[in-house]
Amino acid sequence: MEHSMGYNFGMLAGVLVGALVGIGIVVLLFKLKVMDLTFDERQQLARGQAYKYGFWTLLGCLLLYGFSDAALGRWCDVLTGVMLCVAVALVVFASICIVKDAYLSLKEKPRTIMTLLTVVAALNLVIGGMNLKCGQVVKDGVLTYGAVNLICGAMVLVLLVIYVVNYLMAKREEAE
């Protein structure tokens, strides 16, 4: 399925605008002191371990994606396959950080992060649902770029569940 130059340019422009908006949000969060990446030594060590596992997960997923594409034929767009691999690696990284209490810096508030994760998951799942309803997720038996919002929404939702469960367990242990 070949796309026109205009379509490809539009996709590139959309990705760039999305990246710029994301960078803008992160900069705003830093300026408002919502995000402050001050970690103690224990957190730094745990994050390093999480990066290692996330990196190896990413490599493994990319190899699996490449082998599956070679063995099964084209089952998804390249960007969708890569995004799926990145999402799996990010879940591994973030879940290790959450469980080892290295996800938040010393100055960040858990409720703020939970709210942010909820909003990001909801927005992505709504957009993904609209893509699904419009038939933009699967075309000619191939998972398209329209599935990326569903992938991101599911990833953030999984992280939110891990974060909330870990937060509630820590609160319960604190109370005992």
Distance CA 142, CA 8 (A): 18
Q: How confident is the model at residue 11 (pLDDT cuts 50, 70, 90)?
A: confident
Confidence (pLDDT) at 126:
94
- Angle (CA) 79-19-144 rounded to 5° is 25
The radius of gyration of the chain's CA atoms, rounded to the nearest angstrom, is 18
Q: How much is the pLDDT for 39?
A: 78
pLDDT at 90: 96
CA–chain centroid gap for 36, Å, is 20
pLDDT digits (tens, 9 = 90+) for 24-83: 876 776 676 655 667 788 988 999 999 999 999 999 999 999 999 999 999 999 999 999
Instruction: Answer for the pair 152, 83: CB distance below 8 angstroms, yes or no.
Output: yes
Task: Specify which residues 139 forms β-bridges with.
Answer: 142
Give pLDDT tens digits for 120-141.
999 999 999 999 999 999 999 9
Statement: the pTM of the whole predicted model exceeds 0.85: no
Tokens linked to 120 = 């990001």
Using a pLDDT cut of 70, give the percent of the chain over it: 92
DSSP strands (E only) in 21-158: 138-139, 142-143
Residue 175's pLDDT is 83
Looking at residue 125, its pLDDT comes to: 95
- What separation in angstroms does the CA of 52 have from each of 41, 48, 57, 62, 82? 17, 6, 9, 16, 19
What is the Cα–Cα distance from 51 to 56, expressed in whole angstroms? 9
